[in-house]
Chains A and B, each alone.
Chain A
Amino acid sequence: MKLSHPELRSRLAAEYVLGTMHGAARRRFQTYLERDAALRAEVNQWQARLVPLIDVVTPIEPPRRVWQKIEARLFDANSTQTQASTVVSTPNAAKRGSASGLFTWLTSRAGLTFAASALCGMLAVLLLVRQLPPYDQPMRVAVLEDTSGARMVIEQNKPQLLEVRMVKPWKANTSSSFQLWILPPDGAPRSIGLINQDGSTKIEMKELEGLLEGGLAFAVTREAKGGSVTGQPTMPILCKGVIAKTPPREANRSANKPANTI
């Protein structure tokens, strides 16, 4: 199947969304989608066009057990296996472990500006921290920057809550997702989750502290819609910022508190 002709691409995207593509053809098209951002954009456009048709579908009440099963899968402490894979907003996260080469790749692509921008980030962090009241000091804070300056501020004010505030949003793009990573001193970046393209994102997860532990900096990449399918960054870093931590005593004390979700 050649996917070079624009009209063919659009037609296949339309038929994928419409629903005429089944089974093997559908799966084959999905493999194209994974590696073709323009094709994903085409699919997103068709979704926006066609899916509102559901407005005319007559609702049918599902049985009560569906909700019970959803609750059991997500919140039942006994089904921790599913909980671990679903509660956390980290699609495709932590799939691959042996990716130290990727960190090299990341740092090389992030390039030589890393140190310079890290320094700027530190200055910004110091300014920011100084303005915060002492009793409300975040556990971690970072200002993520690119060449044009600060893009977003990330704060961890609770052991299980990370807040991302966009300072200067990117242009909205329906075909991609922004994915937040934590960069450990060595080894592969770890996915924290997807963030909104503008406004703010709150990422709440039980395992947050463990995920962030030892991380030196946050970074954001623009990935395929839904996040990187490999569990590792596949695109260049858009912005990054080193993490300023509060004294370890405070952080450890907070981290050792029992899980306490909303």
Chain B
Amino acid sequence: MSERERIEQVVAGLHLPDVEWPPTREFFAGAARGELLIPKCRGCGGWVWYPQSLCPTCASREIQWRPVGGRGRIFTWVRVHRSFLPGLAQQVPYVTALVELEEDPMLRVPCMLVESDLLPAVGAPVEVCFVELQAAPRIVVPRFRLVAG
């Protein structure tokens, strides 16, 4: 296989997460139930985002996935007109954003917006929703939508 062919094979699947990968399995299991889960340290009470098995604040390994309210604000956003991921090529132009969750502004979640014909503004309020990307094996991911307020 040429380097070029290898790259194309890798890139073709990048838009689908591996929902069985142990460090993030619970996140996707939560999404499949309609819950947005974020890891929290039982030792110091701090959020641990992105997930890791050793708390960067207190070195505890007692880290648990906890449901959050799913509301936040647009920290920044990008409308993408040319997808470099073939799996998203049918969706352009799409809007993707960093959402800061209301629980803690340092919880920034990258997320596509479901109604991408509306252009958001930095600071605009949003709420989570969930989208099934694949039926079998089932892959569900969070998205966000703009809300009034």
| Chain B binds chain A | no
